[in-house]
Structure 1
Amino acid sequence: MTHKSPITGRFAPSPSGDLHFGSLMTALGSYLDARSQQGRWFVRIEDIDPPREIKGASKRILEQLEVYGLEWDGSVSWQSQHHARYREILQWFISHHHSYYCTCTRKSIQQSGGYYLGSCRDQQHNSHGAALRFYQRSPVMHFHDMLRGTVNCDLRLAQEDFIIHRRDGLFAYNLAVTIDDHDQGITQVVRGADLIEPTVRQIALYRQLSWPIPDYLHLPLALDQAGNKLSKQNRAPALPVTSPQRILILALSALGQTVNDEWQDFSVEQLIHQAIEQWDRTKIPINNTFVTTDVLSTF
């Protein structure tokens, strides 16, 4: 894969709630991987879905990152300020016949097996009440992950013409994240393993646009004792903004990094510095990590 220099990573949370322990693992892994290579690290707030946003969440997320010593480069990027750029790329897809309008409902797609089968490809629908789909002529079947090696994709997912602009007028995640990562010069995307599947769709967009493709690394997820992913939707407890050292050490351990006993007495700045110095990507576990109830109850 071809990418720009220097190494540039990013953390891109949605303002649908405060950061939790799983979010910290992702942010920390992304940050350390970039900083250990003397790279840049950006923060982007993915605020393109207003109905899911929680008032004040963006401000609290940035405060949490600062408390945990994760200092970003430049200004924070906001997806809500990039609508004109998204429309520009959408128009390019339309004018080059790489997309088409679709009126199929989610219910009808579920009834046909859960994957869209291209029913509207030749229907010539207009934009009224329709979603815009990417015409998937060259499916991406697999990609290289810096942790997992070759990752193969479900054939039906790879071949599906996926939505890039929703019928409710909102921009789709795959479109927005691809454009923003390109425009910010992101060379490596380090994120949670729950986003493995969309990767092949984003790579398909990169290829269609003839843009350089970043490297990918998908980190293990943090699970509760029932095996559910810690998430804002599952009401995972928010990261506390006092005495973060203990939680940072827990996150480093969950990422497979060696933590020395004396780190318990370090300041946040000292902890982050040591973590950068000793970061070892090869130690990151592939399997997800369980976070016990008693640990979560102390957050």
Structure 2
Amino acid sequence: MFTDTHVRGRFAPSPTGPLHPGSLLAALGSWLFAHHARGAWLVRVEDIDPPREQAGAIDHQLRTLAAFGFTPDEAVLYQSTRDAAYAEALGQLIDAGTAFECWCSRTDLAPAGGIHHACVAGPQPGRTPAVRLRVPAGTHVAFDDAIQGRVVQDVSAEVGDFVLRRADGLWAYQLAVVVDDAAQGITDIVRGADLLDSTPRQIVLQRALGLPTPRYAHLPLVVDDAGRKLSKSQAALPIDAADPLPALRFAWAALGQSPAALADCASPGAALAAALVEFDPSRIPSRSIALHNATVASDA
């Protein structure tokens, strides 16, 4: 696991609604990894997709984090302020010939399973093209995840040329997250396993931009009884900022840690202090955790 005293981690919520138990698990996990290594923990708001954002969600999320005792070590970064940085990175890729304009729609790519290897649609008058990263045949990525183990992906075959700027002009997540992780000096990315499949794409993009590759740890997902990711489920109820201890104890147990460590804590601050002392990264399970089960056995 991570022991470098120069560790810089982050929690990066999207303002699409209130934080739920899965969000809290990612916040606690990333906070513990960073502070366990005596590093810094940052918060970055991924507000680059206005059609999906919920009014007031950003402020509500930040207030909730504060109520749970999570205080970032630096000022919060908002991706909505980062257009110039993303445009500069995109220009670098276009100039290098590794990014290109593309007018292909989802319908155009449906026969290929949505995977882009070559354009099937030419320029469309009056339409703005997307911009994709060119992924040559045989592009493989392999990395060791601190929780999920060895991950190998044939990015060309499984993903293909992926979008950096959407046809509607909005920035794609993959470009924004890579640019901002580098700009903030993030060394260790701790997040949910739903993003594990995106990591090889981000590593390809880091290499194309000449940026460092952080270390990764993908936490188990919190799911409902049907096995659905909580954010996609009717069970995705907001966590209660007025009564944070039950949710903190659930997240702690879901990380495979001993429930007894937080049993006598009377405040979020006391709970986080105790958690930092008792945290054992090797106990984190790799499999998903059902919301109803607050005592999760180690599966690492």
TM-score under structure 1 length normalisation: 0.91
Deviates more, 1:270-279 or 1:158-167: 158-167
Q: What per-residue deviation string (whole Å, max 9, x for no partner) do you get for residues 142-164 of structure 1?
A: 22101122112255555611010
Alignment of 1:139-218 (within 5 A): 139-153=139-153, 156=156, 160-218=160-218
> Which amino acid in the other structure matches residue 178 of structure 2?
T
Instruction: Give the structure, 1 or 2, with the largest relative contact order (CA under 8 Å, sep 6 or more).
Output: 1
Residue of structure 2 in register with 1:47 after alignment: 47
Residue of structure 1 in register with 2:237 after alignment: 237
Alignment of 1:61-210 (within 5 A): 61-119=61-119, 128-137=127-136, 139-153=139-153, 156=156, 160-210=160-210
Residue of structure 2 in register with 1:24 after alignment: 24
User: Is the Cα–Cα contact under 8 Å of residues 262 and 274 in structure 2 kept in the other structure?
Assistant: no
Superposition deviation, residue 278 in structure 1? 1.3
Unaligned regions of 5+ residues in structure 1, if any?
Answer: 295-299
Superposition deviation, residue 134 in structure 1? 0.4
* Identity across matched positions, percent: 39
Residue of structure 1 in register with 2:7 after alignment: 7
User: Is the Cα–Cα contact under 8 Å of residues 147 and 286 in structure 2 kept in the other structure?
Assistant: yes
SS of corresponding position for 2:236: coil
Q: What per-residue deviation string (whole Å, max 9, x for no partner) do you get for residues 242-269 of structure 1?
A: 1211211111001101121663443211
Q: 1:262 to 1:184 in 2, by over 3 A?
A: closer
Superposition deviation, residue 209 in structure 1? 1.4
User: Is the Cα–Cα contact under 8 Å of residues 18 and 57 in structure 2 kept in the other structure?
Assistant: yes
> Which amino acid in the other structure matches residue 167 of structure 1?
A
Residue of structure 2 in register with 1:35 after alignment: 35
Question: Aligned partners of 2:265 and 2:290: how far apart in 1?
Answer: 25
> Which amino acid in the other structure matches residue 192 of structure 1?
G
User: Is the Cα–Cα contact under 8 Å of residues 7 and 40 in structure 1 kept in the other structure?
Assistant: yes
SS of corresponding position for 1:231: helix
Q: 1:126 to 1:80 in 2, by over 3 A?
A: farther
User: Is the Cα–Cα contact under 8 Å of residues 133 and 162 in structure 1 kept in the other structure?
Assistant: yes
Q: 1:155 to 1:169 in 2, by over 3 A?
A: closer
Residue of structure 2 in register with 1:219 after alignment: 219
> Which amino acid in the other structure matches residue 133 of structure 1?
R
Superposition deviation, residue 139 in structure 1? 2.1
Aligned pair count reads 291
Deviates more, 1:235-244 or 1:172-181: 235-244
Deviates more, 1:215-224 or 1:93-102: 93-102
Deviates more, 1:152-161 or 1:248-257: 152-161
User: Is the Cα–Cα contact under 8 Å of residues 191 and 219 in structure 2 kept in the other structure?
Assistant: yes
Deviates more, 1:259-268 or 1:123-132: 123-132
Unaligned regions of 5+ residues in structure 2, if any?
Answer: 295-300
Q: What per-residue deviation string (whole Å, max 9, x for no partner) do you get for residues 121-153 of structure 1?
A: 9x6889952110101137233221011221122
Alignment RMSD (CA, Å):
2.4
